[in-house]
Amino acid sequence: MKRITIEDVAKKAGVSKGTVSAVINAKDSVKPETRDQILEIMRALNFRPKGVARNLKNGGQEKSIGIIIKDLNYPFYTSIATGAKEYADSKGYSVIVTNSEDNHEYEEKLTHLFSAKDIKGTIIAPTLEGTAEIEHLFKLKRINYPFVLLEDVKGIQANVVAIDNLKAIKKAVKYLINSGHTKIVHFAGPPHSSHTLERIEGFRHAFSESTLVFNKEMIVPIGSHYEESFNKTKEYFKNKRKEDYPTAIVCFNDQQALAVMTALKELSIRVPADISIIGNDDIYYARIYPVPLTTIRAPQHQIGKKAAEILIRNIESATLLPTERVVLETEFIIRESSRVLND
């Protein structure tokens, strides 16, 4: 199978190789109508610039994919990377795992580096900052660089592998309501993450299907990183009377849940005697927390395998494939951090 070259694109578009190169590098020297025509031809021919050119089978070159995760210290992402590596190994691909440190600029630099250095495609856990540009993802789309996102990004039509956050949180809240809890709050995650918004929506849905009334004070944004969550938990309880405490907290993820439990211990608030805690992800050490954590188990290994499968299928396809959005199911795991009130 002949690899499409920059010469092929230039010939088809009736322009010079320099003009095609200017479009690839997002320079302003090309008229918009010419740029659009060239991008359309690139898509039609499934052209990828030399730095992201697809190796042919048995071509004798090293094949590799990249994974950009937010936090190397959080087992949720390392489990996803392990699943991706397992599938990539079976297809003869090496895996390069990098950490954006939940920093948009780092993520942008890493995507540019990967696409320029012949890493064939990338799995990305996107960092969203509200006002942050997502132009780097558009650039990847423009040059047909294969990538798979681990959550939806508004405005980008891309391959996505995720879990049903709305359904998962809804199930957890309904469990609490059925257990007699009436004062439930949700400690939400980063404000611009689609995961945060979906989990808030799931929380709301659970109340809409019960006799309890939802109000916006039930949503408390405290972030997802340990230090931030720990400090904001202490701040939340500092001026509350004991009779105004919630009886249950549904956390954004297990890392946040550990920070919340640690802060509550410092405040002499007992889990679950005073407040039940529910996490999200079921990272491998959730069961050995100071109080084993009731949580929502995400199929982390499967997420990684599926993302790698979609990515490599796109890398090896001779034609541009339609985007895929795969939503995986979760499992609700009951441990000692939650209790039933209506026994």
Per-residue pLDDT, averaged over 169-182, amounts to 97
Task: Return the beta strands (E) in the chain as ranges.
Answer: 64-69, 94-99, 122-124, 147-149, 159-163, 184-188, 219-221, 248-251, 276-278, 295-297, 325-328, 331-333
How far does the chain reach from its first CA to its final CA, in angstroms?
A: 68
* Residue scoring higher pLDDT (54 or 63): 63
Q: 120 — phi, psi (to 5°)?
A: -70, -25
Please classify residue 210 by burial: count the beta carbons closer than 10 Å to its beta carbon, then call 0-12 exposed, 13-18 middle and 19+ buried.
middle
Domains in the chain and their CATH numbers?
6-47 (1.10.260.40), 58-163+300-328 (3.40.50.2300), 165-298 (3.40.50.2300)
* Residue scoring higher pLDDT (43 or 181): 181
Per-residue pLDDT, averaged over 84-110, amounts to 91
Whether the pLDDT of residue 52 is over 60: the answer is no
Strands 219-221 and 276-278: unpaired
pTM: 0.82
Strands 94-99 and 64-69: parallel
Pairwise CA distance, residues 283 & 301, whole Å: 11
Tens of pLDDT, residue by residue over 234-243, are: 999 998 999 9
- Please report the pLDDT score of residue 260 as a whole number: 97
